[in-house]
A and B are shown apart, each in its own frame.
Chain A
């Protein structure tokens, strides 16, 4: 199994541009989530989903949108990128056994 796949691995955006970070899982997990990690800090929850068609906000949702049309996919959209969104983004899916994280997307906004 591939687990959790995130694309792209690296991205540079200009301020004001929009983009979508992709996340896909093949473990049939109901729960998926997006975190961001700034240098020297722990992970902070952006948005999460408890199943297809259901999403909710986490700790730092401003500037991000999500949707969950299928169990497998949970894309994160940056509507108008800002330098404050420069970070490493991790997608995770989970079941009762624990969380599986993707390898991350390193985003730089200039």
Chain B
């Protein structure tokens, strides 16, 4: 799995968009970008994933640069419940031993009232 780099912490005002960056300059052509988050003491929660096109679901949007070396997770209207550690993971989807997730240290997002 390609290595990822995320800022250790970020703050965001409640109701504003939270933009969480991730660098993955060594990503290979068949690797996807996945985002998970972990709210304090809970198990990680899947948010979104993508290969090269921008993706949107009910939780967030994922913007991947054209060269795929970086991406941004966007929470459009952050709430206090979005305070969590956000993990950016780059990996091949489900091919034998590549199925395990490799977690880095993530970004601690704090949404401020």
**Chain A residues engaging chain B, CB cutoff 8 angstroms:** 4, 31, 33, 35, 41-45, 48, 50, 56, 58, 88, 90, 92, 94-104
Q: How many A-B residue pairs have CB under 8 A?
A: 54
Give the residues in chain A near B97, CB-CB below 8 Å. Answer: 56
CB <8 Å contact, B104 and A42: yes
**Chain B residues engaging chain A, CB cutoff 8 angstroms:** 34, 36, 41-46, 49, 87, 93-94, 96-97, 99-106
One of B46, B87, B102 near A98 (C-beta < 8 A): B46
- Could you tell me the dominant secondary structure of chain A's interface residues? strand
Give the residues in chain B near A103, CB-CB below 8 Å. Answer: 42-43
Question: Once the chains are docked, how many angstroms separate the CA of A99 from the CA of B102?
Answer: 12
Give the residues in chain B near A102, CB-CB below 8 Å. Answer: 43
Write the chain A residue with the least CB distance to B44: A101
17 A-B contacts, Cβ less than 8 Å apart? A4-B43, A31-B94, A33-B99, A33-B100, A41-B105, A42-B106, A43-B103, A45-B102, A50-B96, A90-B43, A92-B101, A94-B99, A95-B94, A98-B49, A100-B46, A104-B42, A104-B43
